[in-house]
């Protein structure tokens, strides 16, 4: 499964642990810095 973690810091302990746990279970993980993009939601 492909996963994206939304986080401001790649070095944050919580982010690192989430990534490690997901990778140990065979998932592909990408950490996205929430300060570097915007999400536009339309109805």
Inform me whether the pLDDT recorded for 37 exceeds 90.
Answer: no
Inform me whether the pLDDT recorded for 13 exceeds 90.
Answer: yes
Q: Which helix (H) or strand (E) holds 29?
A: strand 28-33
Hey, what are 5's tokens? 């973690």
> For residue 24, what pLDDT is reported?
98
> For residue 39, what pLDDT is reported?
84
How far apart are alpha carbons 18 and 4 in whole angstroms? Answer: 10
> For residue 12, what pLDDT is reported?
94
Q: What's the N-to-C CA distance of the chain in angstroms?
A: 27
User: If we measure between CA atoms, which residue out of 2, 17, 14, 10 comes closest to residue 32?
Assistant: 10
> For residue 27, what pLDDT is reported?
98
Inform me whether the pLDDT recorded for 7 exceeds 90.
Answer: yes
At residue 8 the predicted structure's pLDDT band, cuts being 50, 70 and 90, is: very high
Hey, what are 2's tokens? 């492909």
């Amino acid at each position: 499964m492909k996963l994206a973690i939304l986080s401001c810091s790649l070095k944050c302990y919580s982010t690192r642990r989430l990534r490690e746990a997901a990778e140990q279970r065979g998932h592909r993980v990408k950490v996205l810095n929430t300060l570097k993009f915007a999400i536009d939601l339309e109805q």
